[in-house]
Each structure stands twice: as C-alpha cells, then as structure tokens.
Chain A
Amino acid sequence: KQWYQRRVAITAGGAKWFFGCGGLAILFYDNIGFVHTVRGKSMSPTLNPGPTRSLLREKVWLSRLPFYQPTVGDIVVFKSPKHGSRLAMKRIAGVAGDTVVPSKVMKNTMEAVLIKPGHVWVEADNRHTAGRDSNEYGQLHNKMILGKVTWLLWPWSRIQSLRNTRPPFQQSENREESQQR
C-alpha cells in the first residue's frame, strides 16, 4: 500500500506545481503583459517588422495592466476586426467624443465621424499601407483592445520607451477634440 500512496502523493504534488505555474502564467499573460512581435509595416518607421525570420523581428512589450484608459497617441494591440483570430497594432488617433475626418488617402467619403462612447479610432503611422486601420473598418470597440505598447525591447540597439511617442506626421487637422474635456 505504501508505494502506491507515495506515487499518488508525488504525482499530486507535481500536478499542483504544473497547473499552478500554468495558471500563474495565464494570469500574468492576461493581466500584466507579454512580448509581442511586430508583423507588417503599418507602424513604420516607429516599429518595423524587419526581415522575415522571427528572431530578427522587432519585439515590443504589451502592457495589459487593468483599467487601461484609451488615450490619443497610445500604440495599442487589439483583435483585428478583419480577421477574428489575428492581432493588429496601430496608434489611437481619436477617442470617444472626438470627431475624426477619415484620411483622404483611404476613404471615399469625407464626412466627419463622431466616435461613440466605448470606441476609439486607430490609424497606422505608415501612410503608404493600404487601409487596415479605422479608415477602412471604422471605429474600434474598446473591448477589442488587449493593451498598450509601452516598450520596444528588440533589437537591443533600439530599446526605448514607447509611452509618449508621436506619429511621424501631423494628425491634428483630422481630429477635433470633444468639447466636454
């Protein structure tokens, strides 16, 4: 009987550690953050994918701390409205209450759009990428946003904080801030 009890105890102990670490990893991933690889040129020159080998691609730290308030200028990672299972990364160009005029380059209509509560307007830094931001798919629901990109981590030669960066062009003519603020 004794060898049996010891085996069960060791397996139970191992299982506790396995599930415990797994659970902690998931909690960390969901509530603290993770390293995200840059794919695509839509945020150039701020963030570049580099050559196709995964090890050489730029990597950023995505902060998923709770109670994130979307702010204009933040670079965010969100679930892509065009491909349900993929993640996208763009810069917030307008928040709820702002009025945005979709960029002339991409959108046919020139009407101003009022951003609804709980939504944001995201735009690519790289004006030459065709669509793939709010100019194509409209306002983005806040719940699609995973978190804010706070650091460029790789390559080491480019390590820098990304908290307060600006897009490489003047965005202000597109956006009218909400009067309530």
Chain B
Amino acid sequence: PEIMVTAAKWALLGALGTGLMFSRGVAFVTTSGSSMVPTINDTSNTSVLLVDVFSAVTNIKKNDIVLCHDPEECEGFIVKRVTAMAGQFVQLDPHEEPGPYVARHSYEGRLSVPTGYCWVEGDNRSTSHDSRAFGPIPLGLVKGRALCRIFPWPKVLLKSE
C-alpha cells in the first residue's frame, strides 16, 4: 500500500509535468499525410516531430513549419509551412490551378494576408490542402513551430535566420 501511494504520487506528478510540458513547452507530435513530402515524410508515412509550443505567436516567421489547429474542423491539427505573414503578399503560381480561396480572393494576380493572419502551404503542392483552399488562418490557431524531426530520421526543421 505504501509503495502504491508513492507510485501514484509519482504517476500524478509525471502526468501533470508531461501535460504541462506538452501544452507550454515542447511536444512530440505524430504526423501522417503527404502534404509535407519530402520535408517531413516520404509518401504519407507517419513521422514524429518535436514542436516548440513555448515561444509566443510573435516569434512565428515566414518559412517556419507550424502546427496549427485545423481551421476547418472542430478538433485536430495540421502541419504546414508559413509562406506569407500578415501584411505580405502570397506568391501565386501562375501555372497551377488556383485553389478555391485563391480563385475567389486574388485580385490582378496578387493576394495579401490581412493583419493577425498567416498563409500556410504544404511543401507538396499537388496534394496539400492548405491556405490556397481555406484561406489564411488566424495566428491564434497556431500552436507551435516544428523544431526537428525525430522519426524516421533526425532532421532539423527550424532554420534560424
């Protein structure tokens, strides 16, 4: 019984500590899907990333890979790259079919990101469902930046300026 109490205490402490770390510090994130091939995975295998949940929203920069709440679903997350920040123009590719949002909102071949939002795109443009379809996402939905990949092979994802 005494051992059980101690074990329970340590388990609770461990759970709270891990929960705290994952929500406010650094988190392990498992991903699947092919929108970030080949940066994160090959052909929609699962991969494990280390995500920095600690830094403030103001630290998000262009070309960061970010973990965000899915803007189209109640729950769930997406992992994409920030390709334009608030106030910047989105690089539109004239050779590709414009996504639903781009088609409706681009004007004279240009599209700008409103304040408080960011534009995210997957590295694998042909299969990625991203801001070209659902528009820019508010910075409040960004949970953190991907620091590095752990599995299948370690790889640094965050590039410092």
Residues of A within 8 A of B (CB): 23, 26-27, 30, 78-85, 116-118, 141-144
Contacts and interface: CB of A to CB of B under 8 A. Distances in A.
Interface string B84-101: 001000000000000000
B69 A141 contact: yes
B20 A27 contact: yes
A35 to B, nearest CB: 20
Nearest to A119: B74
Nearest to A87: B140
Interface residues of B, number: 25
B74 A117 contact: yes
A80 B115 contact: no
17 contacts: A23-B16, A23-B20, A27-B20, A30-B23, A78-B140, A79-B138, A79-B139, A81-B116, A81-B117, A82-B116, A84-B58, A84-B142, A85-B58, A117-B73, A141-B140, A143-B140, A144-B138
A141 B71 contact: yes
Contact of A84 (B24, B71, B139): B139
B20 A84 contact: no
Given A118-B73, A141-B69, A83 B115 contact: yes
Contacts of A83: 115-116
Contacts of A84: 57-58, 86, 116-117, 138-140, 142
A138 B142 CA distance: 18
A83 B117 CA distance: 8
Interface of B is mostly: mixed
A27 B16 CA distance: 8
Given A84-B140, A141-B71, 19 more contacts: A23-B16, A23-B20, A27-B19, A78-B140, A79-B139, A81-B117, A82-B115, A82-B116, A83-B115, A84-B57, A84-B116, A84-B117, A84-B138, A85-B57, A85-B58, A117-B74, A118-B75, A142-B74, A143-B69
B141 interface: yes
B116 A80 contact: yes
A180 B56 CA distance: 39
A97 B117 CA distance: 25
Contact of B56 (A81, A85, A143): A85
Nearest to B115: A82
A143 B20 contact: no
A117 B151 CA distance: 34
Contacts of A85: 56-58, 139
